[in-house]
Structure 1
């Protein structure tokens, strides 16, 4: 049966209602349920006990402190890398950008474990080289400063991406005119580039702050052992000690996290309000300043920073995974693959976690692909208002902290489904729903970008020749967007496979994911097993990023973030 398109439009009649239905189910329904529960709880006085709880205010203070300090660390590191790799004649820029993006792609709990293995008196790596602090010395990362430092390292790539995008859009002619007028490189940087780059700095700082507020893995690994709770870990603690007021409390705490995230974005808007940043002239590749005799020193500093934040922590993780037990010195005689054999061959929990993560990630990646191909077509072929509405509804679940979405899913599916009478709470299906909701925007962006770059006349010619929507999609559009679709699948798989924040509240016996398995192994004292599993996850991340690098030349701009 042939599907008739709207008059004057190549879209079939069922397409836009289908897209709206998907957005309602994955975005509006769960977050609306969370909002309703929070409002009803406040109206019934359910927040009185929570407000009088000192643990709430301490967790709020810890969240604000670690998020703000972590944002400062991210701005310093990410800003320096963005300026140097974009504006100056540094060699091996692609390799440096690729490696700098790795901390953001590595799960936060793995980042925390690697740094714990690198520092402190029980560090296997430090003991192997005779530099470990005396036994009994405190672990310096189990502190507010330690949490903030790792949050900054984890989210420095966000600042790098935001600032680099702004720097690449700077006007070439204005910078060249200033140089020809005799302005030094420092004057151009101070008087032209940095003022114009302020929106990129502000956007990156805001994104880092919002990401810090919702981060669960790093505060859980570093904070809970020291009784330092942030709002996400407080939600986890309250959910673990389930009581009569648990649902009301976690809905209010989730609302508070959402408000903090919104406040970070509003501060960014306030900073930029009243300033005009319109650029006149040609933009693209910015002026390339020469470091001259300083180039070797600057390049050495960049590589040393990467060694410090990436290579050494990973080396500590590998060393911990090869040691027979946490804190035992690593030697050629004591080195063993026992931990890898245990997590891969003997531990049924880790095998189940591998299977669940692979199944959830692949199902999410390919399931969302089917949805976002249609959604991306609507975004590219509709008016600006419709495209903005679809994009905003898809972005909201991804922009909010994962712990908020997890709570929304719990509230939505705690009771059996209407009409069906079946409950998916405590099953793998609630995780799959949460993944679909959380990663919808990740899949949509590269596909929508690919559709925008296609010439509509190709499809219009096929339509006038009598080809239906399905035929046009299969024979013309799908082959042209195939590289972007492949990138979307890899990105969703990469992020979903290592996810912890959402699944930390939604998993149950038999539905553990890799992120949950790593956290539980560390929590139970099996640090060497957690390290071995983390090493395998890092290798998986590098392999997936390598695939994206191979596809980079065929992808729309912006899909591979470490490339221009």
Structure 2
């Protein structure tokens, strides 16, 4: 790693590289190293390095491993395909055309990230299962579809498609329609101009966001466990959970399975790198003006209908299911007037079980994680894009690796790393270990988004600033940051939404007495108080969406400013 720092420092922005590398070592390398050590040395938890690789043969001789791996690849690929099918057209339309209620759709598409995946899955179960809300209202029973492979793909796609939507829409807005207009002047029709100019320029954003979707799909635990496990469709993460929950706990086996997930992510990373390095996607221009957006004309009604359908499925249905469950006295009572009640919301507002403290803690953790990952991710992406070297590609993959490992394994890595007796100080058993966990897990969002935005910006603007007397840091802050800020802010909103409701790592790492929204909901479910847990989910969704709404309105107002 020291050699990598020295190599990166040879070029411009060496100070940025010198800052980024140690930070990534602390946030990412340190805990992941102990996961690898645990996979190699099965007795590491007992402080022994004896019998290295002794569990390798036992673990990989399990015939279920191959089936779990194949299922994981199938699930990740299917979610990538369906997310691209849904989100790429949405992003193109949002970025290039005057879509009515554009700000509203942005907010609606943030809602899936404010809903924990396990809550969304439970919401769909309450809606589509036999005697579910859809069955009660229409007599239609879609339980067989929901508890199937494509049912899992359907629910997971609705959870993750905003990653692609925001990346593509912000990139398309940056590109604008002026290149298509230039091509039209040269004689090209709109279709040829789009596929020959606009779409290739957006390739880095599309590839980066789909890579994130694949990584999220193969590491997601809640949805496959809730929906697919009933039909016997198990994936690597559910296998890891078995090894960590069934007695005796097989920590080395879980670590070894995690290395398979990392290997799958490396293959996806290599494919993305091959796609984005085949051509030069840089442009010289920055933020487009409002006038760049093209009217939809006769396509207005179908486009609005498309946006409304996805918003209905991705946001309204799961939120409505959560709200209905929170508003009923008992689940068995169904949708009957005498079963509706506000008792669960009253209990939350009365601070039952420390509900209000949980909300405050989660909001603070979400904002802190969003700010830190936004800064670190932007600086890391700048080093990766501007320094064409093996060391920079290593950094790029390093920021992706945590997103391919289940949160429970990352949490174990943090425990192993920060409980070593030789450390002079440790954040373990403090609130800062949660910040480290969230930064480790969510850093890929701002890095991928900033990386895609930076690949569209040539170096000529920075060169001009340097000729005018600005140093590299000033050029970065005054030129690069404003140009990529829409993409970075979109990523930070996603980080905030995910961090504010993160569950798995929080369960293992939260200090004694710490209350978060996810912990509160989980404990209510364990105690059988599903209505109370859903009430907290409803309030948390409403509160955590307030900041994204305000930021989106501010960004929309800034976009409409003249100049």
* Map of 1:80 onto structure 2: 89
Aligned 1:103-118 pairs, distance under 5 A: 103-118=112-127
Between 1:375-384 and 1:389-398, the stretch displaced more is 375-384
Pairing 1:410–2:389 present: no
TM-score normalised to the size of structure 2? Answer: 0.74
Distance 1:209 1:308, change over 3 A: same
Say what the alpha-carbon RMSD is for the aligned residues.
4.9
Aligned 1:114-133 pairs, distance under 5 A: 114-124=123-133, 126-127=135-136, 129-131=137-139, 133=141
Contact kept? 1:231, 1:257, Cα under 8 Å: yes
Between 1:354-363 and 1:320-329, the stretch displaced more is 354-363
Q: Identify the match of residue 299 of structure 2 among 291, 294, 298.
A: 294
Q: Secondary structure at the match of 1:328?
A: coil
Segments of 5+ residues of structure 2 without an aligned counterpart are 1-12, 43-50
Q: Distance in 2 between matches of 1:251 and 1:281?
A: 45
Distance 1:430 1:193, change over 3 A: closer
Q: Distance in 2 between matches of 1:210 and 1:385?
A: 25
* Map of 1:515 onto structure 2: 518
* Map of 2:47 onto structure 1: none
Q: Identify the match of residue 341 of structure 1 among 346, 366, 385.
A: 346
Distance 1:504 1:250, change over 3 A: farther
Distance 1:276 1:294, change over 3 A: same
* Map of 2:27 onto structure 1: 26
* Map of 1:541 onto structure 2: 544
Distance 1:268 1:366, change over 3 A: closer
* Map of 2:74 onto structure 1: 65
Contact kept? 2:521, 2:536, Cα under 8 Å: yes
Q: Identify the match of residue 183 of structure 2 among 172, 177, 180.
A: 177
Q: Distance in 2 between matches of 1:554 and 1:192?
A: 28
Q: Distance in 1 between matches of 2:86 and 2:552?
A: 23
Q: CA deviation at 1:506?
A: 4.0
Contact kept? 2:28, 2:440, Cα under 8 Å: yes
Q: Distance in 2 between matches of 1:486 and 1:273?
A: 22
Pairing 1:256–2:260 present: yes
Contact kept? 1:414, 1:423, Cα under 8 Å: no
Contact kept? 1:106, 1:541, Cα under 8 Å: no
Q: Identify the match of residue 503 of structure 1 among 489, 492, 506.
A: 506
Pairing 1:223–2:228 present: yes
Distance 1:49 1:428, change over 3 A: farther
Q: CA deviation at 1:275?
A: 4.3
Contact kept? 1:223, 1:229, Cα under 8 Å: yes
The C-alpha deviation readout for 1:302-360, integer Å capped at 9, x for no partner, is: 22332232222222221111111224222333210122234554752756754653564
Contact kept? 1:214, 1:402, Cα under 8 Å: yes
TM-score normalised to the size of structure 1? Answer: 0.74
Q: Secondary structure at the match of 2:335?
A: coil
Q: Identify the match of residue 108 of structure 2 among 95, 99, 109.
A: 99
Q: CA deviation at 1:212?
A: 0.9
Distance 1:178 1:19, change over 3 A: closer
Between 1:66-75 and 1:523-532, the stretch displaced more is 523-532
The C-alpha deviation readout for 1:143-163, integer Å capped at 9, x for no partner, is: 221111112112212222343
Q: Distance in 2 between matches of 1:519 and 1:398?
A: 28
Q: Secondary structure at the match of 2:333?
A: coil
Pairing 1:48–2:74 present: no
Q: Distance in 1 between matches of 2:352 and 2:313?
A: 32
Contact kept? 2:384, 2:395, Cα under 8 Å: no
Between 1:293-302 and 1:280-289, the stretch displaced more is 280-289
Q: CA deviation at 1:101?
A: 3.3
Distance 1:268 1:360, change over 3 A: closer
Contact kept? 1:125, 1:319, Cα under 8 Å: no
Distance 1:54 1:514, change over 3 A: farther
The C-alpha deviation readout for 1:459-510, integer Å capped at 9, x for no partner, is: x99x9xxxxxxxx9xxx9xxx9xx9999998765443211124335545875
Q: Distance in 2 between matches of 1:281 and 1:426?
A: 48
The C-alpha deviation readout for 1:112-143, integer Å capped at 9, x for no partner, is: 2222232122324652x35454xxx8453222
Q: CA deviation at 1:97?
A: 2.9
Contact kept? 1:166, 1:199, Cα under 8 Å: no
Contact kept? 1:352, 1:512, Cα under 8 Å: yes
Pairing 1:269–2:273 present: yes
Distance 1:65 1:383, change over 3 A: closer
Q: Distance in 1 between matches of 2:118 and 2:530?
A: 12
Segments of 5+ residues of structure 1 without an aligned counterpart are 1-10, 464-471, 558-564
Q: CA deviation at 1:77?
A: 0.7
Aligned 1:5-16 pairs, distance under 5 A: none
Q: Identify the match of residue 326 of structure 1 among 324, 328, 331.
A: 331
Aligned 1:81-480 pairs, distance under 5 A: 81-124=90-133, 126-127=135-136, 129-131=137-139, 133=141, 138=143, 140-168=145-173, 169=175, 172-173=178-179, 175-178=181-184, 181=187, 183=189, 185-190=190-195, 192-194=197-199, 197-243=202-248, 246-270=250-274, 272=275, 275-276=278-279, 278=281, 284=288, 290-345=295-350, 347-348=352-353, 353-354=358-359, 357-358=362-363, 360-361=365-366, 372=375, 385=387, 393=395, 396-397=398-399, 400-401=402-403, 403-404=405-406, 406-414=408-416, 416-419=419-422, 430-439=433-442
Q: CA deviation at 1:31?
A: 1.6
